[in-house]
Amino acid sequence: IQGFNVHTARKNMGKRLAIEAPIEADVVTGVPDSSISAAIGYAEATGIPYEMGLIKNKYVGRTFIQPSQSLREQGVKMKLSPVRGVV
């Protein structure tokens, strides 16, 4: 993306978001996998600690292409698990 690898570009976007949308928080976490780099950038820019708050089940396929909303919601519940003590 404009001469940067995707991880670096997403991390830079997270840093920019920290400037444009600052918040008070105890922890920063990303939704696996795409937003993790941006979350790390946000955490670095704000000084808020980054933690893995969600774990992705690699064996669940793409959930957004399911034919109904109920199947999409069921798929997301199977796909992402909260890390207790972080979330």
Whole-number Å distance between alpha carbons of 31 and 39? 9
The band of 6, judged by pLDDT with boundaries at 50, 70 and 90, is: very high
Phi-psi sector, 19: left (phi>0), alpha (psi -120 to 50), beta: alpha
The band of 12, judged by pLDDT with boundaries at 50, 70 and 90, is: very high
> Which tokens belong to 28?
């920063």
Whether residue 64 is predicted with pLDDT greater than 90 in this model: the reply is: no
Whole-number Å distance between alpha carbons of 54 and 37? 14
DSSP string, 49-85: PB---EEE-TTS--STTSSSHHHHHHHHHHHEEE-TT
Write down the pLDDT at residue 62.
78
